[in-house]
Amino acid sequence: MIPRSATGPCPCGGQPFGAPLSACCGPYLAGEGWPPTPEALMRSRYTAYAVGDTDHLFRTWHPATRPSGVEADPSLTWTGLEVVSVSGDDDEGVVEFAAHWTSGQGSSRQRGAVRERSTFTRRAGRWLYRDGVPSQS
Ligand SMILES: [Zn+2]
């Protein structure tokens, strides 16, 4: 399980590095403010997957592309996020990342990573996740 300790770093690793959940993604998950950049939004969505906050995933997903229901896979434990690159302009941003996971226990334990280039667009002043494609880097 991802610890929800107030003193440990945010599940996304912290921005700046090592920042606790309460000073990083926590306020966005709580609906106190909106992530100001595509990277901040991407980090908050990773953290939402890590803690199972599907409401945050839903509301940060562009209405044109979001599924009718958003589910976090309970068999995966998210163990870390690497932001590989960030690009874009004021209206559209692309964040390439690797999200690491483990699954199972003991000898059946597996680990892997989701690598994706996610595209974010700004709508009514708020960044939203639009879609993503697998990335090989
Ligand atoms: Zn965070």
- At 66-125, the pLDDT tens digits run 999 998 888 999 999 999 999 999 999 999 999 999 999 889 999 999 999 999 999 999
Question: Is residue 2 in a domain?
Answer: no
Going from the Cα of 67 to the center of ligand 1, the distance in angstroms, rounded, reads 24
- The CATH code of the domain that includes 92 is 3.10.450.50
Q: What is the mean pLDDT of residues 30-50?
A: 97
Question: Is residue 37 in a domain?
Answer: yes
Answer for the pair 98, 115: CB distance below 8 angstroms, yes or no: yes
| Residue among 75, 82, 71, 18 nearest 48 (CA) | 71
Is residue 8 very low, low, confident or very high in pLDDT (cuts 50, 70, 90)? confident
pLDDT of residue 6: 53
Question: Is residue 125 in a domain?
Answer: yes
Question: Is residue 62 in a domain?
Answer: yes
By the CB criterion, residues less than 5 angstroms from ion ligand 1 are 10, 12, 24-25, 43, 47
* Strand residues in the chain grouped as ranges (E): 76-88, 92-103, 110-123, 126-134
pLDDT of residue 7: 67
Question: Is residue 9 in a domain?
Answer: no
State the residue range of the domain holding 50: 21-134
Q: CA quadruple 52, 22, 12, 2: dihedral positive or negative?
A: negative
Is the model's pLDDT at 137 over the cut of 80? no
Question: Is residue 12 in a domain?
Answer: no
Question: Is residue 95 in a domain?
Answer: yes
Q: Give the residue carrying structure tokens 């991802």.
A: 2
Question: Is residue 42 in a domain?
Answer: yes
Structurally, how many domains does the chain consist of?
A: 1
